[in-house]
Amino acid sequence: VPAKVIGVMRMLDNGEADDKIIAVAAGDPSVSHIKDISELPQHFISELRHFFEEYKTLEHKAVVVEEFLEKKVAQNILNQSLAMYKDMF
C-alpha cells in the first residue's frame, strides 16, 4: 500500500527509544488529504497513544509515548535510518 509519512510518535519501550513513523494510505481519499500529524483529530491521537501505552501490559512491559512530532522530524529519522542501512550493507 503506498503510504505518505505525516509524522512520528516518540516512544520508549522498556526504557529504549522506539520511534514509530506515522503514515496515511496515499490512495485512500478519506485520509490522503492529510499532510502532517497535526491535522489528525486530537481524539485519534489520544486513541493511538492509549493503544501503544497499553498493548504490552500483558507482557508486563512498560511503554511510554513521549510526544507526537511533525512530518519534517519523521523524514529526518527515515533519512538517517537509510544512511545507517547503506553504511552497514
What is d(CA 15, CA 22) in angstroms, rounded to the nearest whole number?
21
pLDDT averaged over every residue in the chain: 96
Tell me: pLDDT of 56 over 90.
Answer: no
pLDDT, position 58: 86
pLDDT of 9-22, one tens digit each? 999 999 999 999 99
Strands 63-70 and 3-13 turn out to be antiparallel
What is d(CA 46, CA 11) in angstroms, rounded to the nearest whole number?
14
Domains parsed from the chain with CATH numbers: 3-88 (3.90.80.10)
Which of 26, 41, 38, 45 shows the shortest CA–CA distance to 74?
Answer: 38
One-letter amino acid at 71 equals K
pLDDT of 28-51, one tens digit each? 999 999 999 999 999 999 999 999
The pTM score is 0.89
pLDDT, position 72: 98
